[in-house]
Amino acid sequence: MKKILVICAAAAFAPVAAADLVEITLDMAGTSVDDPSFVYGAIQEQNALAGDLIMAVGVRDLVIDFGGGPLDLATVNFYWTLDLTNAGYGAGIFALSGAQGPFPSGSQESYSFEFDISGYGGQVMAADYYGDWNMGTFIGSDTGGDVVSVASGEMYFMVETAIPAPGAFALLGLAGMAGRRRRRG
């Protein structure tokens, strides 16, 4: 009984786990669209974050070269892997806006924007959702043949993750040790 009281008292005074925003950034330099039927980009395994809330996604200092295409025009669209099951959309790779463009052959465009998706309850995909990865950023286009390519820049996720307070486990561990010492002494 005394051990239970000691553990409960330690838990009451232990620091509470806090939520923290973590930015996961993926470098998009060198990404190009080969086939307009697919999206191309960067993937990561972020299994430790699976199920954590995604507060925002964005594009930062992304520079895209447009080499033309049919009628010397090309478009680009931006995609993120998201679990939007809570909002009724399921889990997958989502474009959050319409295509940008069309842009003429030889042009270069820069992008920096952020979408607040906190109202959708979006989450990091389940661990290894796509085999060995669960987080990715992509570009797509209506034009293939490497006509759209990223010169530099990044796309990112802002993830709210629970970070245990450093002293919480230490206090609980000490409470357990204190209980054992009393029994032996």
Domains defined along the chain, listed by start: 1-17+164-185 (no CATH), 18-163 (2.60.120)
- What distance in Å separates the CA atoms of residue 69 and residue 66, rounded to the nearest whole number? 9
* Whether the Cβ atoms of residue 105 and residue 66 lie closer than 8 Å to each other: yes
Predicted pLDDT of residue 72: 81
Q: How far from 52 is each of 47, 65, 85, 109, 163, CA to CA, in Å?
A: 10, 34, 13, 33, 11
- pLDDT score of 177 more than 60: no
Quick one: which of 123, 138, 116, 128 has its CA closest to 54?
A: 123
Closest to 108 measured CA to CA, from 58, 144, 67: 67
Q: How far, rounded to the nearest angstrom, does the alpha carbon of residue 115 sit from its chain's CA centroid? A: 12
- The pLDDT score that the predictor gives to residue 173 is 45
- Which amino acid is located at 71 in the chain? L
Q: Rounded to 5 degrees, what angle do the CA atoms 40, 143, 35 make? A: 45
| pLDDT tens by residue, 28-78 | 999 999 999 999 999 999 999 999 999 999 999 999 999 877 678 899 999
Share of the chain above pLDDT 90, in %: 70
148-161 per-position pLDDT tens digit: 999 999 999 999 99
Coil vs helix vs strand at 144 = coil
- Least confident interval from 11-20, 112-121, 123-132: 11-20
106, 63 contact by CB (below 8 A): no
pLDDT of residue 7: 40
The pLDDT of residue 175 is: 38
Query: H-type helices in the chain, by residue range?
Result: 2-13, 166-184
Q: What pTM value is reported for the model?
A: 0.78
**Amino acid in the structure at residue 50:** A
